[in-house]
Structure 1
Amino acid sequence: MNLFKSKWKARLLVSVAAVLLLLVFNPSSYASPGLHKDYWVAVTDQGSEEIRVYDPEKSSWDDKNALKWSWAPSESNGFEGLTKGWGLPSDVKLREGRTGGKYMLVTDSRGLAAVVPYPSGNSRTWGVIVGGNPHAAELLPDGNVAVAASAGGWVRLYTASQGPDSSTYTQFTLPGAHGVLWDPEREVLWAVGDYYLVELKVKGTPEAPILEEIHRKRLPTNWGHDLFAVYGDTDKLWVTSNTKVYQYSKSEDVWLENYEGASDINHHWVKSISNQPSGQVVMTNQKAGTKYTWTTDQVDFFQPNDLRTVTGGAFYKARVWNSDYQ
């Protein structure tokens, strides 16, 4: 009996140690100790001109311990000749690569789109100045990168799988393109523009991809803006316009405004929206008095309601720091 207890305790200690090692050496893959044990939150801060990752458990994001990670392109981390395309970061996502490891995707309104290894941030996996005021990027399973540019009015699929400087692309015209999102269940690329949500099939090869429209849905209100997964529900997408926040049901092909928390969430000028595994919603909404008319110094939380503010912050988007596509 004592021998059995001893073996059981030993196995328990080994299991606990394994979990602790995973948390220490892979911090982005676990639910950080935030509100409801959820993930950290990344922001595109146009005040500091950096990507910043914060811990929502900290009640004050002015506390230096709340800032967990930050990044900006430089000559020393592989962006020599490309920093002219940086200064107004417009999108950030965390994704897993085709051969393992995690990668950050970023765009900047001055023209840069890039893929950077996370958490090292010390090199350029891919990056080019694409122009057109890029507002979002997405990593595809084959290593290529989709970019949506609002002024350009296009969604491009760049052959990033072919090398860090690859500037070859295929293009799909979408006026006011603001968001792109890969759907691993349907194996399609979603994109949102001024008037439509479109579903695109990726054909061809990684070296010569083709984008083919397979479905188009008119937005209920004009000027589509953000597009993101509703984590925990593979049938739903978050879609914002300048005046509303919707969920879109893929299976029913309908727009929804009766989702949980809609009375607080559904309003105008929402620049980004995502949700934690717990269901808590993370949002940015432009705020008067910050650096630009389209920025804010706070991130809003709903269900439960809360907020975090950074003195001098000029956030455009905030993202749940989760590498899952949906």
Structure 2
Amino acid sequence: MNRRTLLKSAAAVAVGAPLASLATATSAQATGTYHVAVCEQLRNQILIHPVGPVDWSPASRLWRWQAPATTDWNLLSDIKFRETTAFGWVALVTASGGRVGIVNMGDGDGLLWSAAPNGNPHSIERIPDIGVIVTASSQELSKGEYPGHLTIYAPTNSDDPSTLAQVDTIDYEGAHGLWYDGSHLWALGTWTLTKYQVTGSHRDARLVKVWGHTWPDPKHPFNGHSLDTDHSDPNYLLITGGGSVQRVNKSTGALTPMRPSDQGVKSFARIASGESFWQQASGSGDDWWNSEIQFFDSVGNKSFTRSLEGYGYTGRFYRARLSSVNFS
């Protein structure tokens, strides 16, 4: 995929389309067509497929990124897309094996930058304009206990990811989710949801806590997992954990349970129409993955599922996100 084919208009970005395959935002929204990116762990790849009257097959696939064949890239665990001045769309990726990176979607899908923040990387975010990268790591795969942490990488040139270097870490138990909402960075972990201000620039960039919520029951950790924007209302974020899906009011921090809701939801996304989808742990064996992504209508009723068709194997999905560069 050449970067010149990426949609640059605000309307196209609102639909969440990385390819010039949709006529207009209005028609795409009306037909229920949008694009979903998944972390597929059997073949360790990122896939983008359209949602609509098509199967998720090689013929309908819009984009694929194959992780490097090294152990530290095993088990891809997060995918986000962000717009950059120098490279257009980039993909932010993490792997539980220990690696994180920035993929140039417009030039051979090569890695622009990669690092090893230790622990079990589960999320990554980029701060626009200043080019800072933040990663979230939970416990190590080889140990039962690990405090978890956020790692901050800052550049000397905000347009050049190769100048990124680690400048700080913040202890954060069970860190699993990160989301930048256009003004603040949010983090989600075992017990806490935290709102940070990003201060400084270049190598002086740091995170300063401005608000936090702690789930109080010591016998029942929230075990926060997914953090995303609510594309149907920019005033809210969406989180999963504690056997629930919840909305977070970005101004007040108020938490509201949502429908649908259930145990083991690893990721949840809601589009502008109110339709939504999630990846839910299968509950058996290596129970963090599932071969299906469940979709819901605008009132939270199950509507359909998608799985890989025609690939010759059963996919193992971990996270699923709307293919969009929108923060909110």
TM range (shorter): 0.7 to 0.9
Give the direction of change, closer, same or farther, for the CA distance of 1:146–1:42 in structure 2 (3 Å limit).
Answer: same
Give the direction of change, closer, same or farther, for the CA distance of 1:216–1:285 in structure 2 (3 Å limit).
Answer: same
Does structure 1 residue 174 correspond to structure 2 residue 190? no
Determine which of 202, 211, 218 is the counterpart of 1:206: 202
Q: Tell me the C-alpha RMSD between the 2 structures.
A: 2.8
SS in 2 for 1:181: strand
- Deviation, 1:315, is 0.5
> Could you tell me which residue of structure 2 aligns to residue 145 of structure 1?
133
Q: Any stretches of 5+ residues in structure 1 without a counterpart?
A: 1-17, 75-81
- Deviation, 1:218, is 2.1
Give the direction of change, closer, same or farther, for the CA distance of 1:154–1:28 in structure 2 (3 Å limit).
Answer: farther
The 8 Å contact of residues 243 and 262 in structure 2, kept in 1 or not, is answered as yes
- Deviation, 1:70, is 0.7
Give the direction of change, closer, same or farther, for the CA distance of 1:248–1:164 in structure 2 (3 Å limit).
Answer: same
Q: For 1:117 and 1:192, how far apart are their aligned partners in 2?
A: 27
Q: For 1:176 and 1:231, how far apart are their aligned partners in 2?
A: 26
Q: For 1:317 and 1:30, how far apart are their aligned partners in 2?
A: 27
Instruction: Compute the TM-score of the two structures, normalised by the length of structure 2.
Output: 0.80
Give the direction of change, closer, same or farther, for the CA distance of 1:24–1:39 in structure 2 (3 Å limit).
Answer: closer
The structure having more radius of gyration, on CA atoms, is 1
How do 1:75-94 and structure 2 match up within 5 A?
A: 83-94=70-81
- Deviation, 1:298, is 0.5
> Could you tell me which residue of structure 2 aligns to residue 68 of structure 1?
62
> Could you tell me which residue of structure 1 aligns to residue 42 of structure 2?
47
> Could you tell me which residue of structure 1 aligns to residue 248 of structure 2?
248
One-letter amino acid matched to 1:202? V
Q: For 2:186 and 2:215, how far apart are their aligned partners in 1?
A: 13
- Deviation, 1:242, is 4.1
The 8 Å contact of residues 38 and 277 in structure 1, kept in 2 or not, is answered as no
- Deviation, 1:127, is 1.0
- Deviation, 1:312, is 1.0
- Deviation, 1:119, is 4.4
How do 1:1-326 and structure 2 match up within 5 A?
A: 26-27=20-21, 33=28, 36-61=31-56, 63-74=57-68, 83-99=70-86, 101-141=88-128, 142-151=130-139, 153-160=148-155, 161=158, 163-164=161-162, 166-184=164-182, 187-219=183-215, 222-257=222-257, 259=258, 262=259, 265-288=260-283, 292-303=286-297, 305-310=303-308, 311-326=313-328
Give the direction of change, closer, same or farther, for the CA distance of 1:284–1:29 in structure 2 (3 Å limit).
Answer: farther
- Deviation, 1:25, is 6.4
Q: Any stretches of 5+ residues in structure 2 without a counterpart?
A: 1-8, 140-146
SS in 2 for 1:136: strand
Higher helix share: 1
- Deviation, 1:224, is 0.8
Runs of 4+ in 1 over 3 A off after TM superposition: 21-38, 160-163
One-letter amino acid matched to 1:323? V
The 8 Å contact of residues 18 and 324 in structure 2, kept in 1 or not, is answered as no
Give the direction of change, closer, same or farther, for the CA distance of 1:157–1:235 in structure 2 (3 Å limit).
Answer: same
Q: For 2:261 and 2:18, how far apart are their aligned partners in 1?
A: 38
Identity, in percent, stands at 26
One-letter amino acid matched to 2:190? D
Number of equivalenced pairs: 292
The 8 Å contact of residues 29 and 323 in structure 1, kept in 2 or not, is answered as no
1:20-45, Cα deviation, whole Å (9 max, x unpaired): x9999645997595884442100000
SS in 1 for 2:135: strand
